[in-house]
Amino acid sequence: MGGFFGVASKTDCVFDLFFGTDYHSHLGTRRGGMAVYGEGGYDRSIHNIENSPFRTKFEKDVNTLKGNIGIGCISDFEPQPLIVRSHHGTYAITTVGKINNSEELVNQIFQSGNPHFLEMSGGDINPTELVAAIINQKDHLVEGIRYAQEIIDGSMTLLIMTPKGIYAARDRMGRTPVSIGQKEGAFCASFESFAYLNLGYLEYKELGSGEIVVITPEGVQTLSEPSSDMKICTFLWVYYGYPSSSYEGVSVEQMRYRCGDLLARRDQVKPDIVAGVPDSGTAHAIGYANRSGIPFSRPFIKYTPTWPRSFMPSIQSQRDLIAKMKLIPVHDLIKDKSMLLIDDSIVRGTQLRETTEFLYQSGAKEVHIRPACPPLLYKCKYLNFSRSTSEMDLITRRVIVEAESEITKEVLSEYADPESDRYNYMLDQISTKLNFTSLRYHRLDDMIKSVGISPCKLCTYCWNGKEE
């Protein structure tokens, strides 16, 4: 996961950069960084944010960094932004995306004469450094950015800061967003559209698929026109996006209300209360409650004062334990109640099974589960936003493997079809394994309807396996 923010201002930009970057903390848990350019040249700061929030780690840097142009990022993997010296001059770069063919690209660059890459811990090459190396193969920055977008298998959205301004480039299929904001004397580029609103910026434009612009304090100039093709990640609305953001003009919060609304229209159960798993399930649950007339309730509260999202270890068993520890029950709202619980999705099922057991232990009579998206059948191949490292992490795949001697695309397509016997068998098995009273997923057609833009512009690969 990851997010970025960039500012080009006629005055010092560090205040806006600090808070604009901090507003992306929900997208990453491991590294944060800021780089600026001013009278003293380039300056940069990178910190580990695994055990402390971005704002705490960087508050001292706000008083020392000086510059009128800056980029910042939150990253779940590599330290960035990087400062690179090349035949293009010196520039800073930060990226959001996924490179599936990194080994092939590294070998290609070695053959073209690049002497080395720096290894990160674990022996991996920093993907942002690899992107810079690809860009540096070409004579001009914009030509290099286009080249990187063409040859990377996966996705790549980036910001490049030079002494003259910031180059912002959206992935060629528009899988991740870039929103441009404007205020007097400054322009900014942001992954999340809400991140600049409290800083006084107004929305200027969203970049289209593959569009490349250069941002200066005076304006925004398009250097490469956008494509009409788009495959933006639908999971941004369902889960990853912050509630106050919007993508392609579609509000995240309103989309989630519509998800809950359509879930309720197809449902027959009559529980006492409707609840959402905090935080992303809450809006879906409100939409369901509004449509069904069943009261919305908060039977457990997420404890956040000393448990920021950034405190999340990489070991899955520890992640599951911490997720459970964050939820504090309100026993008076649980005891003797039939409950309908909405979560954004079911991946492994571990956390939701423990949440369900925790509700039964607190006195719940029934726990009906309604995920706000269809069953996840495929690991994401386009973004690092996937919540699974292997398809066998997915509870759907484990159930299918138990039931099938051979798994083909045709078989998986039946499991993705909500009208098929295989689909209903899978739901029964998952419900039994996770101890749900009942289970009904959001349908893919309803989820697409909840977004409200053309289906051909949405990536739905993790649910139906359909590629570009």
Q: Which residue has the higher pLDDT, 327 or 141?
A: 141
Q: Are residues 184 and 277 in the same domain?
A: no
The confidence score (pLDDT) of residue 300 equals 84
The confidence score (pLDDT) of residue 49 equals 87
Q: Annotation-wise, does 233 bind a ligand?
A: yes
Of the pLDDT bands very low, low, confident and very high (cuts 50, 70, 90), residue 310 is very low
Q: Annotation-wise, does 259 bind a ligand?
A: no
Q: Annotation-wise, does 393 bind a ligand?
A: no
Q: Are residues 370 and 285 in the same domain?
A: yes
Residue % of the chain over a pLDDT of 90: 78
CA-CA-CA-CA dihedral for 13, 27, 204, 225, to nearest 10: 110
The confidence score (pLDDT) of residue 320 equals 60
The confidence score (pLDDT) of residue 272 equals 97
Q: Are residues 224 and 373 in the same domain?
A: no
Q: Annotation-wise, does 76 bind a ligand?
A: no
Q: Are residues 148 and 188 in the same domain?
A: yes
For residue 311, pLDDT beyond 50: no
In the numeric block, which tokens belong to residue 66?
Answer: 């000086």
The confidence score (pLDDT) of residue 283 equals 96
For residue 84, pLDDT beyond 70: yes
Q: Are residues 81 and 196 in the same domain?
A: yes
Total domains in the chain come to: 2
Q: Which residue has the higher pLDDT, 237 or 392?
A: 237
> Of the candidates 230, 263, 292, which is a domain's last residue?
230
The confidence score (pLDDT) of residue 354 equals 87
The confidence score (pLDDT) of residue 387 equals 52
Q: Are residues 133 and 225 in the same domain?
A: yes
The confidence score (pLDDT) of residue 122 equals 66
> Which of 77-91, 95-109, 384-398, 453-467 shows the lowest mean pLDDT across its residues?
384-398
Of 176, 159, 196, which is closest to residue 70 (Cα–Cα)? 159
Is 370 a member of any domain?
yes
For residue 314, pLDDT beyond 70: no
Residues 391-424 have pLDDT tens digits of: 888 999 999 999 999 999 999 999 999 999 999 9
Name the amino acid, one letter, at 315: I
The confidence score (pLDDT) of residue 118 equals 75
Q: Are residues 195 and 302 in the same domain?
A: no
Is 63 a member of any domain?
yes
Provide the residue range defining the domain that includes 29.
2-230
Is 245 a member of any domain?
no
Is 238 a member of any domain?
no
Rounded to 5 degrees, what are φ and ψ at 427?
-65, -40
Is 242 a member of any domain?
no
Q: Annotation-wise, does 462 bind a ligand?
A: yes
Residues 149-199 have pLDDT tens digits of: 999 999 999 999 999 999 999 999 999 999 999 999 999 999 999 999 999
Side by side, the strands of the sheet bearing 212-216 are 82-86, 89-99, 154-162, 165-169, 212-216, 219-224
Q: Annotation-wise, does 73 bind a ligand?
A: no
> Of the candidates 176, 202, 230, which is a domain's last residue?
230
Q: Are residues 226 and 254 in the same domain?
A: no
Three-state SS for 457?
A: helix
Is 241 a member of any domain?
no
Residues 363-390 have pLDDT tens digits of: 999 999 999 999 999 999 998 765 556 8
The rounded distance, in Å, linking the Cα atoms of 83 and 44 is 8
Q: Annotation-wise, does 380 bind a ligand?
A: yes
Side by side, the strands of the sheet bearing 202-206 are 41-48, 31-38, 69-75, 2-9, 186-190, 179-183, 202-206
Three-state SS for 206?
A: strand
- Residues in CB range of 24: below 8 A, 6 or more apart: 2, 3, 4, 5, 73, 74, 190, 191, 192, 195
Q: Are residues 193 and 279 in the same domain?
A: no
Average pLDDT, the chain: 92
Is 240 a member of any domain?
no
Half-sphere exposure in the Cβ direction for 460 (13 Å, CA):
21
Q: Are residues 429 and 285 in the same domain?
A: yes
pTM of the model: 0.92
The CATH number linked to 147 is: 3.60.20.10
Q: Are residues 196 and 165 in the same domain?
A: yes
Is 444 a member of any domain?
yes
Q: Are residues 340 and 412 in the same domain?
A: yes
For residue 328, pLDDT beyond 80: yes
The CATH number linked to 366 is: 3.40.50.2020
> Of the candidates 230, 261, 278, which is a domain's last residue?
230
